[in-house]
Amino acid sequence: MIQFDQVTKRYPGSDEVLKNVSLRINAGEFVFVTGHSGAGKSTLLKLIAATERPTSGTVLIANQNVSQLKASAIPFLRRRFGLIFQDHKLLYDRSCFENVILPLRINGISGIEAAKRVRAALDKVGLLHKEKAMPITLSGGEQQRLAIARAVVSRPSILIADEPTGNLDASYAADILAIFYAFNQVGVTVVMATHDASCASTRQNRVLHLNQGLLTEQLLHPADLEENPASIEKFHYE
Amino acid sequence: MNNWLNHHLQALSLVLNRMRHHAWSTFMICLVIGVALCLPSLFYLGVDNLSKLADHMQQDTEISLFLKQDTDAATIQQIEQQLAKNDAIRHYHLVTKEEAWQQLKVKSESNQDLNGAIHALENNPLPDAFFIQAKSAVPDELETLKSALQNISGVEHALLNTEWVKRLATLLNLGEQFIFFIALLLAIVLLVIIGNTVRMQILTQKDEIEVSYLIGATNSFIRTPFLYAGMLYGLLGGLLAVAMMMFIIMTFNYSIADISHLYSSDFSLRLFNTELFITMVTTAAIIGWVGSYLAVSRAIANFKLS
């Protein structure tokens, strides 16, 4: 589904943010991307979402080479993704309902069908009763859930979340994670960047760990964590 | 097709909603556009009506055909037959020297000096004369007719006073060129005003544009609402200009009616100058579209996803 082959990314005037990264994420997987801030997690996600292009190497999304895509084809590639950001990127000048309907508008879906889908998405994240509320009146956790509703309303096959729980306290973070797991259960591929590897402690997940642009891959078993909590620490500060 | 229609309807309703929310600033922008449109239109109206008036006057232009002093009745009849045959002449009438003499006496009664001078004359110094109105009002054709009439035997002098009409026509021509440039300059002003307004809107909607791009919006999805906004500004500004023009024309017509009355004419400005109004509104809408297209294209080209 997502394949990186020797991908290097360098921003103008900076060192290489990603160095020779190769990876493969299959459909239906739930993958964490971990590492310090500045380790290249966001860049990796941006490459997947085609908001950035690799300096060298190839990025394949659903067998399409992103570097070779025409600029006019990029929007249609992006519609396969649901993007979730640490700062939500909600639009504060309109209601929750209007926020969630935006991707459907872009997809040309309107009317009763659109309203039905928006309510279904809001229901999945537990915000159905807030559809008329303005996002600014919601708590941080609710705002993030609203952002998730917006990301899933157009039924994308891949969810990409950049530090979705970064600003939230533990119980909200657990809510968010539970929602992601629920989507993963019905076949949605989830790629989630986090600096907090303990998120993964409840289930077995693949973890792509970035350190100064280099990728190491690890399978994190919940059992490992229980036996040796230090391994998480190692993950954190390696 | 349905999708396309949906896309446009959504964009339009979005823009209309935004305009309703910012009714006051929308009105101000439209007012600026309206005033800018009004200026060249007023000039045009002035020159257009002046040239109509000039045409009107040209039609009244007479050729005066003064006959030789000693012309007898038979010659006059001959000349009259020739005039009757001439296709270029609409109608003519003869004023004999005795009639002219009587008229002059009557007219000069109030003027002591002139009256004295006339009575001092022993003989009637006035010639017989034909006053001719041509079918054509074109100065050149009038000139040709005049020389043709001049050559009729028994004619002393043919007089055509078109000089001032020619001068007026030249001036009006100059006026039309002047309007063209004023209109061109104001079109550029409109382009800049609308382009700038749209640019400001793009800035205020930066977040929305960014989010839309991130979730897969195409350039045309981003662009369409702004194009509608530009077009609507032009359209509303144009309609406002039409309203202002009608108000101005109505005010003018009161004074014009007074003047026309003095000249016993029923000349007045047309309140519904349909072609002018349609031209104003469509021009404004097109300029609005182009202005916002330029602004949005620039913004899209410079847009960076953070």
Backbone angles phi, psi at B60, to 5 degrees: -85, -5
Reported as a single tens digit per residue, the pLDDT across A185-196 is 999 999 999 877
**How much is the pLDDT for A71?**
84
- Please count the structural domains in chain B: 2
- Same domain membership, residue A62 and residue A23: yes
Give the C-alpha distances (Å, rounded to integers) separating B185 from B37, B190, B194, B267: 11, 9, 14, 32
- Same domain membership, residue A231 and residue A121: no
- Same domain membership, residue A73 and residue A103: no
Reported as a single tens digit per residue, the pLDDT across A22-75 is 999 989 899 988 888 878 888 899 899 888 889 999 999 888 898 888 888 889
A104: in domain: yes
B209: left (phi over 0), alpha (psi -120 to 50) or beta: alpha
Single out the residue in A112, A139, A154 at which a domain terminates: A154
pLDDT at residue A225 is higher than 50: no
- Same domain membership, residue A164 and residue A231: yes
- Same domain membership, residue B97 and residue B111: yes
- Same domain membership, residue A112 and residue A123: yes
Decide the pairing of beta strands A30-34 and A205-211. parallel
Report whether B53 contacts B118 (CB < 8 A).
Answer: no
A85: in domain: no
For residue A140, the SS3 value is helix
- Same domain membership, residue A25 and residue A62: yes
For testing contact with chain A, the best of B215, B297, B300 (most A CBs within 10 A): B215
- Same domain membership, residue A120 and residue A227: no
Residue of A91, A23, A173, A121 whose CA lies nearest to B214: A91
Angle at B229 between CA B225 and CA B232, to 5 degrees: 135
Q: What is the CATH number of the domain that holds B147?
A: 3.30.70.3040
Average pLDDT over residues B138-146: 78
Single out the residue in B139, B160, B181 at which a domain terminates: B160
**How much is the pLDDT for B285?**
95
- Same domain membership, residue B190 and residue B112: no
- Please count the structural domains in chain A: 2
Q: What range does the domain containing A125 cover?
A: 91-154
- Same domain membership, residue B183 and residue B265: yes
Residues of A in contact with B211 (CB under 8 A): 89, 91, 102
Decide the pairing of beta strands A205-211 and A189-194. unpaired
Partner-chain contact B214 A89, CB within 8 Å: yes
| Chain A to chain B Cβ contacts (< 8 Å) | 51
Residues of B in contact with A79 (CB under 8 A): 215-216
Partner-chain contact A110 B213, CB within 8 Å: no
Report whether A201 contacts A222 (CB < 8 A).
Answer: yes
- Same domain membership, residue A70 and residue A161: yes
Q: What is the mean pLDDT of chain A?
A: 84
Nearest Cα residue in chain A from B21: A93
Reported as a single tens digit per residue, the pLDDT across A137-176 is 998 889 999 999 999 999 999 999 998 887 778 888 888 8
Average pLDDT over residues B196-201: 91
A93-102, B10-19, B241-250: the lowest-pLDDT one: B10-19
A68: in domain: yes
Partner-chain contact A108 B215, CB within 8 Å: no
A86: in domain: no
Task: Give every CB contact of residue B143 below 8 A, 6+ residues apart in sequence.
Answer: B160, B162
A140: in domain: yes
Q: What is the mean pLDDT of chain B?
A: 84
- Same domain membership, residue A166 and residue A128: no
**How much is the pLDDT for B253?**
83
SS3 readout for chain B: CHHHHHHHHHHHHHHHHHHHHCHHHHHHHHHHHHHHHHHHHHHHHHHHHHHHHHHHHHHCCEEEEEECCCCCHHHHHHHHHHHHHCCCEEEEEEECHHHHHHHHHHHHCCCHHHHHHHHHCCCCCCCCEEEEEECCCCHHHHHHHHHHHHCCCCEEEEEECCHHHHHHHHHHHHHHHHHHHHHHHHHHHHHHHHHHHHHHHHHHCHHHHHHHHHCCCCHHHHHHHHHHHHHHHHHHHHHHHHHHHHHHHHHHHHHHHHHHHHCCCCCCCCCCCHHHHHHHHHHHHHHHHHHHHHHHHHHHHHCCCC
- Same domain membership, residue B174 and residue B218: yes
Residue of B129, B59, B147, B122 whose CA lies nearest to B92: B129
Q: Which of B3, B216, B219 sits opposite A78 (nearest CB)?
A: B216
Considering Cα of B47, then B48, then B49, then B53, what sign does the dihedral take? positive
Q: Is A73 on the interface with B (CB under 8 A)?
A: no
- Same domain membership, residue A164 and residue A150: no
Single out the residue in A154, A175, A202 at which a domain terminates: A154
How many CB atoms are closer than 10 A to CB A160? 24
- Same domain membership, residue B263 and residue B185: yes
- Torsion over CA of A161, A163, A164 and A168, rounded to 10 degrees? 170
Single out the residue in B114, B144, B160 at which a domain terminates: B160
Residue of A27, A31, A29, A38 whose CA lies nearest to A220: A31
- Same domain membership, residue B191 and residue B43: yes
- Same domain membership, residue B97 and residue B21: no
Q: What range does the domain containing B271 cover?
A: 2-57+166-302
**How much is the pLDDT for A233?**
41
A163: left (phi over 0), alpha (psi -120 to 50) or beta: left
Residues of B in contact with A110 (CB under 8 A): 6, 10
- Same domain membership, residue A104 and residue A162: no
Single out the residue in B160, B191, B220 at which a domain terminates: B160
Residues of B in contact with A147 (CB under 8 A): none
Amino acid symbol at A39: A
Single out the residue in A116, A138, A154 at which a domain terminates: A154
A185: in domain: yes
- Same domain membership, residue B48 and residue B102: no
- Same domain membership, residue B206 and residue B149: no
**Pairwise pLDDT comparison (B103 vs A96), residue with the higher score:** A96
Q: What is the CATH number of the domain that holds A65?
A: 3.40.50.300
A144: in domain: yes
**How much is the pLDDT for B184?**
92
Reported as a single tens digit per residue, the pLDDT across B71-114 is 788 888 888 888 888 877 878 888 888 888 888 877 777 777 77
- Same domain membership, residue B29 and residue B177: yes
**How much is the pLDDT for A228?**
46
- Same domain membership, residue B142 and residue B283: no
- Same domain membership, residue B77 and residue B20: no
Residue of A198, A180, A200 whose CA lies nearest to A190: A180
Confidence grade of residue B70 (pLDDT, cut at 50, 70, 90): confident
Rounded CA separation B306/A86 (Å): 13
- Same domain membership, residue A196 and residue A104: no
